[in-house]
A and B are shown apart, each in its own frame.
Chain A
Amino acid sequence: MRYIPNTPDDRSAMLRDIGVSSFEELLEQVPASLRLNRPLKIADGQSEWQVRRDLTHMSEKNLSAMGHACFMGAGSYDHYVPAAVNALASRSEYVTAYTPYQPEVAQGTLQVIFEFQSMICELFGMPAANASMYDGGTALSEAIAMARAHTKRQRIVWTEAVHPSYRRVAETNNIALGMTFDVAPCPNGSQSNDTISMLLGDDVAALVVQYPNFFGIIDDLKQLVDRAHSHGTLVVFVTDPMAMGLLKSPGQLGADIVVGEGQCLGNYMSYGGPYLGLFAASSELVRLMPGRIVGITKDVDGRRGFVLTLQTREQHIRRDKATSNICTNQGLLATRATFYMSMLGPTGLKDIGVASARRTQYLMKKLEAVPGFSIAHKGVHFREFLLKVPGDARLFFKFMSENGILAGIPLTKFGMTDERGLLVALTETRTLEEMDKYVALATGYATGGMK
């Protein structure tokens, strides 16, 4: 057993020292009727070589974005992950440490989290960020719980252009607290419309908007934010961190809470997890924040150091009065994001934003000209758009995937009824050749009588 060092002789010696004659004697508190008196029905242990061979084989049954041109997004993006991020993030010092409960020997982890918080504050234009939530959807859940705690109100208004999966998760996570949810329709894909304001009122804890929105559109949200504030309603921005080199920050637009999915910051798509929930809030809300927060302090010799702080918000101290139940978070993903952002710098972030956005404009323009295809929405799109394909988008996806392209996500995946809708995303890793191939295949698909 390669992970168990002690030999039968070691064990005998130890049992002797313990003062028992067999291992069984140590189990005297486990009633015989509750013992599993048979071997587990799990196949015999494998050599490392076999494990690698078999799991590699399983992985090869999948159609990977690493071998295909990936135009799928909706919160999970195929950005490039620099080698240095992987090299640093595979160091045992970061990988095999626990939560930094003993700060004197966890300054590496603690300082990285402090740097992470500082970078997230910069991106979102907010004064406070935490050390991570599980993912984008659970970060939104926590934002709603925070808005409820702060306003003592029970109603949430969110738009149709907020990620439907995040909404489903946030609803599940808050339903037992008696929260109710109203969805504001976005008929043109835009969140700048009057029906949203009409749903607001003095009983609304939070208005939730997405920026850029689920359909890739960058809405002008300033007026809506002001309207919500006039009702004493908090405004939650679900924000794409990758757009923050270009767009006005949510903080500048008046956001009270900003959440988002940080997978795009140096983490792999990995079939949906582990991901990185981002969470930032205004100063007024700091003491209601969920999760770990790192702060600066000094040691007894006056040296700068870092510690977990405001722990009286957390479950291990406050138990049933805690702001959240989160304990283990997504630390290593936040660590990777920190490495990534530090190498990107302001110019890298902006360059990726521009590279993704220009590719998006290009593909939109080209596809618009293909007979049978159209772009669903007007407005400025960042790196994603809703394409209308001829016929069922699932069939188009299948056709494209057989030709080496993961063409987008059929809207029906999100429980939406529009069978022709396909959500298409572009990152800086899509090449001109791939885009032109997309257009050529689409053209052939339309004219070749839709297979």
Chain B
Amino acid sequence: MKRDVTSLQSETKLIFEHSHEGRTGFQAPPTPDSLPAFELPAELQRKNAPRLPEVAESTAVRHYVNLSTRNHHIDRDFYPLGSCTMKYNPKINDEVAALPGFAGLSPWQPASTVQGALELLGELSDALLEVTGMDNITLQPAAGAQGEFTALLMFRAYHMKKGNVRKRIVIPDSAHGTNPASIVLAGYGVTQLPSDSNGLMDIEALKRTLDEDVAGLMITNPNTIGLFESNIAKIIDLVHDAGGLVYMDGANLNALLGISRPGDMGFDACHINLHKTFSTPHGGGGPGSGPVAIKEKLARHLPVPVLKKNGDLFVWDWNRPDSIGSVHTYYGNFGMHVRALAYIRSLGGNGLHAISENAIINANYLRKKLSPTYQIYIDKPCMHEAVFSGNNQKAKGVRTTDIAKRLLDYGIHPPTVYFPLIVPECLMIEPTESETKETLDEFIEVMQQIDREATETPDLLKHAPYTTPVRRLDEAGAARNLNIRYFDNANA
């Protein structure tokens, strides 16, 4: 018998294992017989067809619907993944992005035929400039990391123009991994400074490292501990005085809407993750969108093309001799721009402020309620996320990984773990404004229960999860015995 009594845990077939010669799920529109044949010289012809699966549409649909049930997702339950801002993704946003007048546009159409699209980009740009307090913006970067890189290239161009391109960019040790990676791609060296005992930028260390080799500073605000860098104005002045520029990693902008603006703090550039703060869905890894907002002094270096208004007409300006070039083939992830604008319009200025207010209250509520059980890293009011250390539980022989895996049994996605790197056994919890007090209370109960389990039945945690489609997976084995495609022989 092929079928077993079904259980929660199961292996699924791969789509290739459903394949059956001669089946297909697609019918191409007919080609009239009168059309010439396609004659391809023998030496260019493919002999062995690519072994795509051969399945009917119904089989494919059933397979991928079944696979989908093996995912956790924000529409199913709580997803407090710190730094990722897993908020609710409104459905109207997807609907408007799919409108034929948006989804059906070729990027090569002349500006005169896409005025509605450009008007939308203009309105989104204005709203993002108002939120950030900046002077100018590019929507081109496809994600946060690309936004960082784009801004660093602009820093580079700025310094080059001044006659000294400089050598290093400074980051705190709490920085996200994309920061140092982007710095290197932009041709700079990385100087990483230890944070101070309050989890903030160490001003004295910064002073010591600043010299004419420092091209700039990258800093996340609120930082990855969830704290506002309260000395940020001073920090920025110091860097500016040394001739450097300052970049804000805007991944945590969900804490600042209508409260405080990077432009007013003195930053020269920042990126905005539309796929965090502005609700565009994460799609199991992407797409994102990472617009970069800047001060006027960097405007000449913006990537081309730049959106411009000539009278009543929106146009793309390509004629910008000091531009860094282009970082994306077209104008960025347009479908995400549509979604973000739908979100901004739905909320309005006051609504955006309310987003941050609720996100901050929710985070502080968790901070307060969980800190008797879990060690809060810095015991001060936090912004949009609360960062804990699993030290208390480690003393009982249970690691943060074990806590995370046990949460899965309770149907909750774990927080971000082991980041930022400076927090031992880190648990970074970002509830967002989307969650009800009831959900937070439930989460608190579950976290307390897991702590009790850590005391009473630590082994239970070390082998969790038990209820998920598969249990703990051998990640080291996957890297050792690399198996990253179905067919192990090449088929050309």
Give chain B nearest CB distance to A268 CB in angstroms. Answer: 4
Query: A446 contacts the other chain (Cβ, under 8 Å)?
Result: no
Query: B281 contacts the other chain (Cβ, under 8 Å)?
Result: yes
Q: How far is the CA of A280 from the CA of B10 in the complex (A)?
A: 31
Write the chain A residue with the least CB distance to B127: A42
On chain A, the residues within 8 Å of B331 by CB distance are 271-273
Write the chain B residue with the least CB distance to A64: B104
On chain A, the residues within 8 Å of B347 by CB distance are 1, 3, 45
A341-377 CB contact bits vs B (8 Å, 1 = yes)? 1111111111110110111011001000000000000
| 25 sample A-B contacts, Cβ–Cβ < 8 Å, listed by A number | A3-B90, A14-B365, A19-B368, A30-B259, A34-B232, A42-B352, A43-B349, A54-B345, A64-B104, A93-B69, A95-B73, A95-B89, A108-B70, A123-B50, A134-B142, A246-B38, A270-B335, A271-B330, A295-B483, A299-B473, A319-B177, A329-B143, A330-B286, A333-B283, A342-B15
| Structural contact, B50 and A346, CB atoms closer than 8 A | yes
Query: A384 contacts the other chain (Cβ, under 8 Å)?
Result: no
Query: A63 contacts the other chain (Cβ, under 8 Å)?
Result: yes
Q: Which one of A59, A88, A320 contacts B116 once the chains associate, using CB atoms below 8 Å?
A: A59
| Structural contact, B227 and A29, CB atoms closer than 8 A | yes
Q: How far is the CA of A327 from the CA of B288 in the complex (A)?
A: 10
Query: B364 contacts the other chain (Cβ, under 8 Å)?
Result: yes
| Structural contact, B329 and A102, CB atoms closer than 8 A | no
Write the chain A residue with the least CB distance to B99: A59
**How many B residues have CB within 8 A of the partner chain?**
210
Number of A-B residue pairs having CB atoms within 8 Å of each other in the complex: 732
| Structural contact, A63 and B55, CB atoms closer than 8 A | no
Q: How far is the CA of A436 from the CA of B54 in the complex (A)?
A: 35
Query: B187 contacts the other chain (Cβ, under 8 Å)?
Result: yes
Stretch at the interface among B74-82, B204-212, B292-300: B74-82
Which of chain A's residues 43-75 have a Cβ closer than 8 Å to chain B? 43-46, 48, 50-52, 54-67, 70, 72, 74-75
Query: B471 contacts the other chain (Cβ, under 8 Å)?
Result: yes
Q: How far is the CA of A3 from the CA of B11 in the complex (A)?
A: 37
| Structural contact, A331 and B286, CB atoms closer than 8 A | yes
A131-164 CB contact bits vs B (8 Å, 1 = yes)? 1101111100000010000000000000000010
Give chain A nearest CB distance to B411 CB in angstroms. Answer: 9
Q: Which one of A63, A245, A268, A315 contacts B49 once the chains associate, using CB atoms below 8 Å?
A: A245
Stretch at the interface among A78-86, A196-204, A437-445: A78-86
On chain B, the residues within 8 Å of A101 by CB distance are 81, 416
Stretch at the interface among B27-35, B239-247, B389-397, B445-453: B27-35
Q: How far is the CA of A41 from the CA of B350 in the complex (A)?
A: 9
On chain A, the residues within 8 Å of B101 by CB distance are 56, 58-62, 64, 66
B43, B71, B95, most chain A CB atoms within 10 A: B71
B36, B67, B106, most chain A CB atoms within 10 A: B106
Q: Which one of A39, A87, A320, A429 contacts B183 once the chains associate, using CB atoms below 8 Å?
A: A320
B333-371 CB contact bits vs A (8 Å, 1 = yes)? 111101001101111111111110110111011011100
B107-146 CB contact bits vs A (8 Å, 1 = yes)? 1111001111101100000010011010000000011111
